[in-house]
Structure 1
Amino acid sequence: MKKIILYCLTGILLTACAAKKEIKEDQTLLNGTWELAAASFSKDVSKDFKEGLPTLTFDSSENLSVYGYDGCNRINGRAALSKNNGISFPQEFISTMMACSKVKDSDYKQALLASTNYELKNNVLILKSENASLKFHKVSLNGNWYLDKIYVGKIKAADLYPYKKPFIKIDINKPTFTGNTACNALNGQLLMFQNTMKFNHISTTEMFCQDVNEKVFINALEKVTHYKLEGTRLILLEKDKKIMEMVQQYE
């Protein structure tokens, strides 16, 4: 009889530990900074948050503390996870008290605090409630960066590359990069330290593509010395001069 009770207690403890471990792993997956990409209450978040897009940072080492920016004020609090991808936030965040006009910070906080579930896939986080949803992209150097703006005279990137955009793929754990010139695959050495970045030994395949300005993109990459990461926008610089702006794209 004692053995049966002991086996039962052991089974209960193992089940409880497994459940606890599962939640902790989920918390770790949310770690990092996330930038708002879309919201159910907004047709265009860039227009509704002209002071800067809201961000949310999760830190599981501090019992899943949450802090960030609501488009007007700094906020902080804690989140709690539950089974079946459940999530909850405090009834109210601690916040600074700045006043901003024509910013939907109240709608954002209301949707955030009402969230009851989350979805996480390919560096995209979606927080959902019965009446609202918020979509975030993870802020990270890793991933595919597509050319959005290039500062070469007055020529626009869309005119230089009308059919396909050049991109680079970065993995900060590797000393190399890959990508495409909008015609040919390219690769090379990537050197990074703090806010410095250098693209060296760039090589490409040798396909011929008409009306594709590959050299402009490659020459711009070779000039890069520094970078700034602004949410899901990567600014490539030659010292303090802008060379290109890249935007991150998720599959």
Structure 2
Amino acid sequence: MKKIQLLFFLILTICTVSCKSGKNTTDNNESAKKFNEKTFDPYFKGLGTEPFWNIEISDDFIVYKDIDGKLEVFSVSSIDKVQDANIQLITAENNNQQIKLTVTQQECSDGMSDNLFAFKTSVSIVTKNNEQKLNGCGNYIVPKKLQGKWELAYFNGIEIPENKYLKTPYLEFDGEEQRVTGNASCNGINGGIFIQNEVIRFSKIAATRMMCVHENMEQEFLTELPKITNYKIINNELHLFSGDQLKMKMKKK
């Protein structure tokens, strides 16, 4: 009997230690992400005028500023997408409040200027005793991590050495406009881009009409570019995918 009791005690002790260890690991993971204004890299900016407010969203944080300039930082807890519609439901919270944000693709005017936005935003800020509801507009933007010049290093399973072509294809993203410029391996290119989180689409790509007498991969590059659907930045490389298939890798220049 004593042996059974001793065995039960040992099992209980091991379970207790394991549970505590697991809880500490979770707490450490949750506290690992700290807001840093210098590294904060939003992919969406929204605003409203009655009253004035603005909001910025990244993968990890929502930053909300009210009419008095008071800043509130919320940690993102969930991002849900509505099927068959370009609608995102984002929930975030801090110690005192919860914020619920709905971003809907719908032409929107801020009511104060001639500016038109591609998305409508609905914000709900919930405290223990109050819920404030706000409506406004917004746009997805080019995040800082994507801005700049990226040169092709891998294409459809083949490594592209820097000196393989007289002109190596590259893309350059500007932070102010939803456009991309670059070179396709001979002619310069420019066109529109749609960016939403890790989704990216290239549209209306136009190229100059210079005759290409040197070896190049212009036709292949321009054929694949409109097929790109999403991206990831891994180890300072831009990975471009068509669905789940890796098509290109580009290095930051």
TM-score by length of 1: 0.43
Higher relative contact order (CA 8 A, sep 6+): 1
In terms of Rg, which structure is larger?
A: 2
More helix by share: 1
